[in-house]
């Protein structure tokens, strides 16, 4: 109501403190953050212990005992066992590592390439910008999962290729965000002033543009991980992801499909793991967006 009066009333606090306060107040986002931290920790612990040859999971996720196949969830096997007698709980936990690392790696590729392309285009403008954005349009004119599948079809199966495919198809999102942020910042008077006073391009980019595009890119990346996890599972489900015997949620679902009526529990838990993980990143991403962009919070 009294806009002019606001700055005097609100205590001056840093942007980060505001952000934390806002996330702290958003219980769903806060819980999601804790859950994500828990997932990351799980992934790290399983990766480290496996490389050291220590078995921390109740069973070896990749070897099974055919005699123990299709045991419904019970005290020994919380989530039951699969068609090869492998413990599903151990495999679901082990799968966290793959899904999170593929998600993070794919988002990193897209984020770095996309932000650079978008920022360069937005900053220098002209033909270079035009060329970059037209290239992004071409990528956007094919639905992303279909393009990822096409890449995989050509490159062959494997997690490394899945990372590449998922990363490549999401480049345009980051490029567009970065470009519009850079153009908006560039139009500001203080940037014009910095240019007039002879600041180098690099200095302008580092001092003025980078801080401004951080928040939207971070929000996009958080939500991007959730779609990368979904895409990874989809590629795994189509048989384009990991090679056996490694545990990947989408692949586990694909292999359980034949037993959908006889052993439905084999596909409940991997699917639940995907959904909960994606949900956590979505909730946290939404919370982060509200925290970083107060305009979206109004409703």
Partner 1 sequence: MLLYFIKRLLMLIPVLFFVSVLVFLIMRVFSPDPATIVLGQHASLEKAEAWREQMGLNEPIITQYLNYMNGVLHGDFGVSYFTNAPVTGELLARLPATIELAVIAIIIASIAGVFFGIISAVKKNSIIDNFTMTTALIGVSMPVFWLGMLLIICFSGWLHWVPSGGRIDTLMRPMGGTGFYFYDTLVIGDYEAFFNALQHAALPAITLAGYSMAIITRMTRSSMLDVLHQDYIRTARAKGLSSWRVIFKHAFRNALLPIITVIGLQFGSLLSGAVLTETVFAWPGIGAYSVQCILRSDFPVIQGVVLIVAFVFVIMNLLVDLLYAALDPRVKYSQESV
Partner 2 sequence: MLLDVQHLTTEFRTRHGVVQAVRDVSFSIEKGEILALVGESGSGKSVTSLSIMGLLSSNGRISSGRILFNGEDLLTKSEHALRRIRGNNMSMIFQEPMTSLNPIFTVGDQIMESIQLHTKLTKKQAQEKMLHLLDLVGIPNPSKRVKDYPHQLSGGMRQRIMIAIAMACEPQLLIADEPTTALDVTIQAQILDLIYRMREQFNISVLLITHDLGVVAEAADRVAVMYCGRIVEDGKTADILSSPYHPYTLGLLKSIPRLDDNADRLYMIPGMVPPPEEVPPYCAFADRCSRAQDACRQGLPPFIALKDRNVRCLNYITEDQ
Residues near partner 2 (CB under 8 A): 1-2, 5, 9
Q: Give whichever of 4 and 154 is closer to partner 2, judged by the CB atom.
A: 4
- Binding site partner of 299, from partner 1, partner 2, none, Cβ cut-off 5-8 A by kind: partner 1
One residue of 283, 288, 291, 292 binding partner 1 per CB under 8 A: 283
**Closer residue to partner 2, CB minimum distance, 2 or 197:** 2
Angle between helices 210-237 and 88-124 (to 10 degrees): 140
143 binds, among partner 2, partner 1, none (CB under 5 to 8 A by kind): partner 1
Please check whether residue 5 is in contact with residue 273, taking contact to mean a CB–CB distance below 8 angstroms.
Answer: no
CA distance 180 to 34: 32
Decide which of partner 1, partner 2, none touches 2; Cβ closer than 5 to 8 Å per partner kind.
Answer: partner 2
Residues 118-177 that bind partner 1 (CB under 8 A): 134-135, 137-139, 141-147, 149-156
Rounded Cα distance between 259 and 230, Å, is 22
Dist. CA 169–CA 52, nearest whole Å: 35
Q: Do you find a cis peptide bond into 63, omega within 30 degrees of 0?
A: no
Smallest distance from partner 2 to CB 2, Å: 6
- Does residue 257 bind partner 1 (CB under 8 A)? yes
Binding residue for partner 1, selected from 36, 117, 119, 253, defined by CB under 8 A:
253
Alpha helical stretches, state H, 52-125: 88-124
Which contacts (CB < 8 Å, 24+ apart) does range 133-141 have? 133/175, 133/179, 136/171, 136/172, 136/175, 136/176, 137/172, 139/168, 139/169, 139/171, 139/172, 140/172
Using the contact rule CB under 8 A, the part of the chain among 72-80, 112-120, 173-181, 257-265 near partner 1 is: 257-265
Binding site for partner 1 (CB under 8 A): 134-135, 137-139, 141-147, 149-156, 226, 230, 233-234, 237-240, 250, 253, 257, 260-261, 264, 267, 271, 274-276, 278-279, 282-283, 299
């Amino acid at each position: 109501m009294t806009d002019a009066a606001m700055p005097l009333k609100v205590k001056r606090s840093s942007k980060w403190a505001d952000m934390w306060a806002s996330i702290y107040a958003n219980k769903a986002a806060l819980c999601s953050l804790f859950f994500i931290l828990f997932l990351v920790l799980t992934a790290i612990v399983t990766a480290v212990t496996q490389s050291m040859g220590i078995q921390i999971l109740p069973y070896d996720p990749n070897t099974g005992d055919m005699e123990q196949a299709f045991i419904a969830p019970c005290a020994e096997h919380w989530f039951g066992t699969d068609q090869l007698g492998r413990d599903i709980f151990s495999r679901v936990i082990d799968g966290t590592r793959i899904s999170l690392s593929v998600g993070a790696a794919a988002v990193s590729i897209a984020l770095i390439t996309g932000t650079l392309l978008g920022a360069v285009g937005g900053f220098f403008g002209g033909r270079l910008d035009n060329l970059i954005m037209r290239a992004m349009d071409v990528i956007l004119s094919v639905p992303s999962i279909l393009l990822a599948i096409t890449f995989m079809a050509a490159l062959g199966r494997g997690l490394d290729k899945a990372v590449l495919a998922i990363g490549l198809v999401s480049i345009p999102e980051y490029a567009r965000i970065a470009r519009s942020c850079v153009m908006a910042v560039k139009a500001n008077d203080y940037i014009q002033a910095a240019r007039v006073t002879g600041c180098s391009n690099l200095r302008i980019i580092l001092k003025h543009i980078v801080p401004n595009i951080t928040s939207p890119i971070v929000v996009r990346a958080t939500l991007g991980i959730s779609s990368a996890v979904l895409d990874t599972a989809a590629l795994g489900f189509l048989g384009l992801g990991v090679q056996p015997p490694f545990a990947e949620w989408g692949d586990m679902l694909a292999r359980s499909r034949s037993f959908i009526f006889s052993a439905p529990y084999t596909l409940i838990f991997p699917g639940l793991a995907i959904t909960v993980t994606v949900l956590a990143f979505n909730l946290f991403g939404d919370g982060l967006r509200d925290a970083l962009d107060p305009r979206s919070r109004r409703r």
